[in-house]
Amino acid sequence: MFRRYDNLTVARALSSRLPIIGLAATGILLLMLCIPAPAADETVDMLTVADPTGDWGFPSPYAHYSRGPGYIRMSLIFDTLVWKDQTGFVPALSESWEYEAHENAYVFNLRKDVRWNDGEPFSADDVVFTLDYIKEHPYSWVDAEIVDKAQALDDSTVRITLTRPYAPFLDQVAGTLPIIPEHVYKKVSNPEEFRDARALTGTGPFKLLDYDKAQGTYLYQANPDYYLGLPKVQKLRFVKVSEEMAAAALKKGDADAAAVQGESARELERAGFTVLEGSHDWIAKLMINHKKPPLSEVKVRQAIAYSIDRQALVETILRGFGLAGSPGLYASDNPWYNPDQEQYAYDPARAGDLLVDLGYSRQGDCYARDGQPLHLELLVTSSNERAGEMIRQQLDDAGFEISMRSVDSKTLDNLVGEWKFDLALSGHGGLGGDPNILNKVILGQGFNSARYDADTRLSDVLKDQNAEMDPDKRRDLVFLAQQIYASDVPALSIYYTNTYWASNQKVDFYFTHGGVGSGVPIALNKMALV
């Protein structure tokens, strides 16, 4: 198991979300020592985790579903160069690393005692292969364009040269990209369809025993050859349990850990369960098709923002267990949050004024222009249908004509990804990690992103903040990006949920500093199981 580090410089750097960047800029060596911790008090024969969705895809790097729980399931089998625990960065496949400022390159010193779970030795060639492979076969969680070249200096040393200065490299690439085996994947031309057992050849602490897509269940077994020793959890099982029934499953002993609702959290705590509360890293957003008239007009999008009472949604839908959405994306209690942004306080009258400015007039219950009512379709899923209905009613009251259609979550993501929608209620995590998340969910091409590049000033600011190695200057750019984004409203933040993770005493779970990988806000870090 990884232990905290005695190096005060490193510890302080990891305790905030900024100084690591400054260390990198000065080329200071980050020497991370892995000191074996005392053996676990006892072995856990079986750990059962409840999940409301169930199926998150085949847990290989390319076949898992591109959301946080899918990444978690994959990460149990595949390791990265570095990882994070509740404090910050810790070694994984590399024991130490150094940033060479003059070369804009990172040198990783790899472990020499690692084997793939098929028995083959791991080496620097596998790292080089992985970084070359994602250029031909993009991995949705990592921007391959950041890497210029990777070189194996010897069997246990890799130099990764970047195409440009990139402040979040350790978090977003080295700490997120699963390293894959060259001897398996070198002949795989379509990794998304590669689903046999060899696709799960990893170096991580677990192997997959069973995956049932229909039932939404997974069963893992501890990897006896794991380089940190045999994990204390011998078998790990994921079962599908609705969010409403998660607390009951814990009490009955049908599950050992689960995300639970706010009302249940205190009750479980009184019953002797351990309950963790996370930060507001998960956001519900109203996705807006800003490429399609009339939503391509910024005043229409602003009118929508003024028409939605986000605080009322928190009180009604979340029963007070959350925060109202901030138009600039970050929650008001996030250290990156800029309070100096347009807030769009609930004001239907102001929304009407904006529509009148655009030539609309109120005709009965609905605004219309050129004889066409302002009709929009809102996509929702069964999990957010109540919130969708409340948003629909608020928009109707403000003079929009809204129809609502419920689809499954994968269909909604696909429709959003293909721009076949007007409005869609969706959400994602990651806001507790590096500010690179702004680039992903504003400029990125995934279904969680606004995919908004119409404002070149915003695009330039976002690109500059990722390249800025000075922490204070980077913060200024992140603040500016929030102001511009809030003004343009390419998507609207609705609310942030309070997150609670409840468990019995089998495992000491924790919320990862900055989120698992590139920011997954789930209290299921594999290091807690090792």
Q: Give the C-alpha distances (Å, rounded to integers) separating 296 from 271, 327, 366, 416, 485.
A: 52, 17, 19, 15, 15
Stated as kind and residue range, the H or E segment containing 402 is: strand 401-406
Q: Is residue 106 part of a domain?
A: yes
Q: Looking at residue 40, what is its pLDDT?
A: 42
Q: Within this chain, do residues 426 and 288 fall inside the same structural domain, yes or no? A: yes
Cα distances (angstroms) measured from residue 10 to each of 83, 171, 473, 529: 15, 15, 21, 24
The CB-side HSE value for 132 (13 A sphere, CA atoms) comes to 14
Model pLDDT for residues 93-139, shown as the tens digit of each residue: 999 999 999 999 999 999 999 999 999 999 999 999 999 999 999 99
Query: Which of 23-37, 97-111, 174-188 is the least confident region?
Result: 23-37
**Digit-coded pLDDT (tens) for 342-356:** 999 999 999 999 999
pLDDT digits (tens, 9 = 90+) for 312-349: 999 999 999 999 999 999 999 999 999 999 999 999 99
75 neighbors 529 (Cβ within 8 angstroms): no
Among 231, 228, 250, which Cα is nearest to 239's? 250
Residues 410 and 404: beta-carbon distance below 8 Å:
no
* Residues 212 and 132 grouped into a single domain: no
Joined tokens for residue 435? 């500010």
Nearest to 347 by CA among 270, 412, 399, 408: 399
Give the containing element (helix H, strand E) for 256.
Answer: none
Q: Which domain holds residue 243?
A: 40-58+204-278+499-530
Q: Average pLDDT for residues 42-63, to the nearest whole number?
A: 96
Same domain, 308 and 432: yes
Per-residue CA distances from 117 to 27, 122, 126, 196, 223 (Å): 35, 10, 14, 14, 7
**Distance (Å, rounded) from C-alpha 18 to C-alpha 5?**
18
In a domain, 67, yes or no: no
**Is 23 in the same domain as 168?**
yes
Judged against a pLDDT cut of 60, whether residue 485 lies above it is answered with yes
The whole-number pLDDT of residue 22 equals: 33
| In-domain check, residue 64 | no
DSSP state of 170: I
Q: Is residue 415 part of a domain?
A: yes
Do 367 and 351 form a contact (C-beta atoms < 8 A)?
no
Q: What whole-number distance in Å separates Cα of residue 133 and Cα of residue 510? A: 33
> What does 476-526 look like in DSSP terms, one character per residue?
HHHHHHHHHHHHH-SEEEEEEE--EEEE-TTS---PPTT-BTTTB--S--G
Q: What is the mean pLDDT of the chain?
A: 91
289 and 370 share one domain: yes
Q: Is residue 35 part of a domain?
A: yes
The CATH number linked to 336 is 3.10.105.10
Measured in degrees and rounded to the nearest 5, phi and psi for residue 354 equal -65, -40
Same domain, yes or no, for 338 and 328? Answer: yes
Q: Which residue has the tokens 């060479």?
A: 100
pLDDT at 72: 98
* Length reported for the chain: 530
In a domain, 3, yes or no: no
8 A C-beta contact, residue 249 and residue 58? no
Residues 333 and 340: their CA atoms lie apart, in Å, by 14
* Claim to verify: residue 139 and residue 209 sit in the same structural domain: no
Given a cut of 50, whether residue 530 has pLDDT beyond it is yes
Asked whether the predicted pLDDT for residue 16 surpasses 50, the reply is no
424: helix, strand or coil: strand
Spatial distance between the Cα atoms of 469 and 411, rounded to a whole number of angstroms: 39
Cβ atoms of residues 294 and 401 within 8 Å:
no
Mean pLDDT of 503-525: 94
For position 42, what pLDDT does the model report? 85
pLDDT score recorded for residue 28: 30
* pLDDT computed for residue 41 by the predictor: 57
- Backbone torsions φ then ψ of 473, nearest 5 degrees: -65, -35
pLDDT at 38: 32
CA distance 153 to 17: 31
Identify whether residues 352 and 376 lie together within a single domain: yes
Confidence of residue 234 (pLDDT cuts 50, 70, 90): very high
Alpha-carbon distances of 458 from 17, 304, 342, 448, 463, rounded to whole Å: 22, 21, 15, 18, 9
Q: Are residues 187 and 270 in the same domain?
A: no
**390, two tokens:** 């409340």
For residues 255-266, give the mean pLDDT: 95
Provide φ and ψ at 30, rounded to 5°.
-100, 95
Confidence of residue 8 (pLDDT cuts 50, 70, 90): very low
Residue 20 has pLDDT above 90, yes or no: no
Q: Distance between CA atoms of 367 and 217, rounded to whole angstroms?
A: 48
- As given in the structure block, the two tokens for residue 334 are 């996030």
> Tell me: the pLDDT tens digits for 409-440?
999 999 999 999 999 999 998 898 899 999 99
Residues 6+ positions from 38 with CB-CB distance below 8 Å = none
Q: Domain with 110 in it: what CATH number?
A: 3.90.76.10
Q: Would you state the pLDDT for residue 270? A: 95
Q: Which one has a higher pLDDT value, 137 or 40?
A: 137
Last residue of a domain, one of 202, 229, 256: 202
Asked if residue 306 lies in contact with residue 348, where contact means CB atoms within 8 angstroms, the answer is yes
| pLDDT score of 74 | 98
Band (pLDDT 50/70/90 cuts) for residue 9 is very low
439 backbone dihedrals φ, ψ, rounded to 5°: -60, -40
Do the domain assignments include residue 519? yes
| Residue 266 belongs to domain with CATH number | 3.40.190.10
Beta strands in 166-308 (DSSP E): 206-212, 217-222, 235-240, 257-260, 274-277, 283-288
Determine the Cα–Cα distance for residues 117 and 206; give it in Å rounded to an integer. Answer: 9
E strands within 278-342?
283-288, 322-324
Confidence (pTM): 0.80
Q: Is residue 73 part of a domain?
A: no
Q: For 376-399, how does the pLDDT look when each residue is reduced to its tens digit (9 = 90+)?
A: 999 999 999 999 999 999 999 999
- Residues of the chain with pLDDT > 70, as a percent, come to 92
Are 339 and 481 members of one domain? yes
- 208 and 190 in a common domain: no
pLDDT of 15 higher than 60: no
> Tokens 């921007």, residue?
143
Both structure tokens of 10: 């490193």
Q: Domain ends where: 182, 202, 222?
A: 202
Q: Which two tokens stand for residue 18?
A: 């900024």
Number of domains in the chain: 3
Same domain, 187 and 264: no
> For residue 50, is pLDDT > 50?
yes
Please tell me the predicted confidence (pLDDT) of residue 433: 86
